[in-house]
Amino acid sequence: MTEYTPCPADTSEQEIPEELMPLIEEMAKNVHEVWAKNRMLEGWTYGAVRDDANKKHPCLVPYEELPESEKEYDRATSQQTLKLILKLGFKITL
């Protein structure tokens, strides 16, 4: 097996316009919803402690009930996705 070295696009210089900032939270919520739905389709259910063998996960709750650290993970994913879209030259309008 070849060693994998992640190489994400450099979006460090990309600014997100102020009018798009609310989009990050909406995207983060949707990222969680997609993740949760996929886990549930795989047979996972809520469990207070993560248990891979029994497919239990403490984050199988509505986004609003997630710990702030988990929300931040989803926000970071959403923010990087939005930055990449903008860096690639796409325009987002309402």
pLDDT score for 10: 96
Q: What is the pLDDT of residue 88?
A: 97
Instruction: Tell me the pLDDT band of 93, cut-offs 50, 70 and 90.
Output: confident
Average pLDDT (57-81) is: 97
Dihedral sign (CA 53, 54, 55, 57): negative
Q: Judge whether residue 1 has pLDDT over 80.
A: no
Average pLDDT over the chain, rounded to whole?
96
Quote the pLDDT of residue 29: 98
pLDDT digits (tens, 9 = 90+) for 8-52: 999 999 999 999 999 999 999 999 999 999 999 999 999 999 999
Residue range 75-91: mean pLDDT, rounded:
96
Q: Minimal CA–CA distance to 73: which of 29, 39, 38, 37?
A: 29
Q: Report the DSSP pairing between strands 56-57 and 45-46.
A: parallel
Quick one: DSSP state of residue 88?
Answer: T
